């Protein structure tokens, strides 16, 4: 016995479309919130790294110029 395609009422279909739009809007709002949270976490991590780097430079026995030369890879190292 062959089965035919089930006919969908247009009202039911419109309702499902509206439900899907609502679900999509909620998902988009959640995505935006998560994206903002990620950006804030990255910003915080970068600030912490910057502070840590500056503390290391201040505590170092080397001059600022020597440290920059080392970082840039242009420092001459004697072996």
Q: Mean pLDDT throughout 45-55?
A: 96
pTM above 0.85, yes or no: no
The answer on pLDDT for 79 being more than 60 is no
Which residues, at least 6 apart from 70, have a Cβ–Cβ distance to it below 8 Å? 62
The C-alpha atoms of residue 4 and residue 21 are separated, in whole angstroms, by: 29
Give the mean pLDDT of 24-42: 98
Given a cut of 80, whether residue 66 has pLDDT beyond it is yes
Q: What is the pLDDT of residue 76?
A: 55
Place of tokens 């502070």: 51
What tokens appear for 39 in the block? 């950006």
């Amino acid at each position: 016995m062959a089965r035919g395609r089930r006919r969908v009422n247009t009202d039911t279909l419109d309702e499902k479309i509206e439900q899907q739009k609502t679900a999509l809007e909620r998902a988009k709002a959640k995505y935006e919130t998560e994206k903002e949270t990620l950006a804030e976490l990255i910003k915080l991590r970068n600030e912490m790294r910057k502070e840590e780097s500056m503390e290391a430079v201040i505590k170092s026995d080397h001059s600022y110029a020597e440290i920059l030369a080392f970082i840039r890879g242009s420092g001459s190292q004697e072996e």
